[in-house]
């Protein structure tokens, strides 16, 4: 695996000369209810990116990841740490421009946190327009959205729910405190058509107005088997894309 952080100078130069894409895992440091640790999003994204790097071989380099993201909507729960949108935009752009200096002009952001999506999209638009750098963005939840929708029965889900908990069990089991999984809290009232997972009205909602526990769904239904089904679909689609993006196919 071509992991930049573990290399010395001549190794990095050789690896980056061979590679055509870079993988950049990003996540968050934010509350995940009573049973998932604060590093859940990043731990899952990093594990996913490492798996991709292993399968892509010399085609890709793995960048050190970013364990902070846009988490202001979780600040109602102690311990959450957030960046401002401009900060994340700047970091993404600076890393991509640094990679371009070494000859890698295609970057795959492997994201574990839904709150980061808008910032990655904006960074990608600016990088392509101003520097000719192509940034792609993928997230396990989006890649396997069809599987997740068919498997989860909760009305609200998408954060510390049975889906994310199951994926954590498979990719980053250290983040799951199984002994703390209990009765889900009662969802708090939200204006019509504005609640996750697929709101039709875009309304900025802090999580303490969505859930008293900070979690959605019912993690009692989480299982490694469910996690394997979600991960298998998400990973197959991610690898297919990454190979094509790197120029190995099509």
Percent of the chain residues past pLDDT 70, beyond the cut = 99
pLDDT at 249: 42
pLDDT of residue 248: 57
Mean pLDDT, rounded, of the chain: 96
Look up residue 246 and give its two tokens: 């790197």
Lowest mean pLDDT, pick from 64-78, 167-181, 190-204, 227-241: 190-204
> Who has greater pLDDT, 153 or 223?
223
Average of per-residue pLDDT across 14-35: 98
Mean pLDDT value of segment 200-204: 92
> Read out DSSP for the chain?
--BGGG--HHHHHHHHHH-SEEEEEE--B--BTBTB-TTHHHHHHHHHHHHHHHHHGGGEEEPPPB-----GGGTTSTT-B---HHHHHHHHHHHHHHHHHTT--EEEEEE--GGGHHHHHHHHHHHHHHH--EEEEEEHHHHTHHHHHHH---SS-SSSSHHHHHHHHHH-GGGB-GGG--PPPPPPP--TT--SSS-SS-----GGGT-SSS--S-GGG--HHHHHHHHHHHHHHHHHHHHHHTTS--
Q: Is the pLDDT of residue 156 over 50?
A: yes
Q: Please determine, for residue 209, whether its predicted confidence score (pLDDT) is greater than 70.
A: yes
Average pLDDT in the 165-184 region? 97
Quote the pLDDT of residue 198: 83
Distance CA 120, CA 126 (A): 10
- Single out the residue of 165, 171, 183, 192 nearest to residue 47, CA to CA: 171
From CA 247, how far away is CA 249, in angstroms rounded? 5
Q: With contact defined as beta carbons under 8 Å apart, do 217 and 197 qualify?
A: no
- The pLDDT assigned to 66 comes to 98
Residue-level pLDDT at 45: 99
The pLDDT of residue 250 is 36
- Distance between CA atoms of 194 and 186, rounded to whole angstroms? 17
């Amino acid at each position: 695996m071509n992991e930049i952080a573990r290399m010395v100078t001549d190794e990095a130069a050789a690896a980056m000369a061979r590679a055509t894409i870079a993988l950049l895992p990003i996540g968050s440091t934010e509350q995940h209810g009573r049973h998932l640790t604060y590093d859940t999003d990043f731990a899952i994204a990093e594990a996913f990116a490492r798996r991709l790097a292993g399968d892509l071989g010399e085609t890709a380099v793995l960048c050190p990841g970013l364990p902070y993201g846009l988490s202001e909507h979780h600040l109602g729960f102690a311990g959450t740490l957030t960046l401002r949108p401009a900060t994340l935009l700047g970091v993404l752009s600076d890393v991509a421009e640094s990679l371009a200096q070494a000859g890698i002009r295609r970057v795959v952001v492997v994201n574990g946190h839904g709150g980061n999506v808008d910032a990655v999209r904006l960074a990608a638009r600016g990088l392509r327009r101003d520097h000719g750098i192509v940034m792609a963005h993928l997230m396990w939840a989006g890649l396997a959205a069809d599987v997740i929708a068919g498997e989860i029965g909760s009305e609200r889900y998408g954060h510390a729910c049975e889906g994310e908990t199951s994926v954590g069990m498979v990719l980053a089991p250290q983040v799951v405190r199984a002994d703390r999984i209990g009765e889900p809290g009662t969802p708090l009232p939200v204006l019509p058509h504005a609640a996750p997972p697929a709101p039709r009205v875009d309304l900025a909602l802090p999580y303490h107005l969505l859930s008293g526990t900070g979690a959605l769904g019912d993690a009692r239904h989480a299982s490694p088997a469910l996690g394997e089904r979600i991960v298998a679909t998400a990973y197959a689609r991610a690898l297919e894309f990454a190979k094509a993006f790197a120029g190995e196919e099509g």
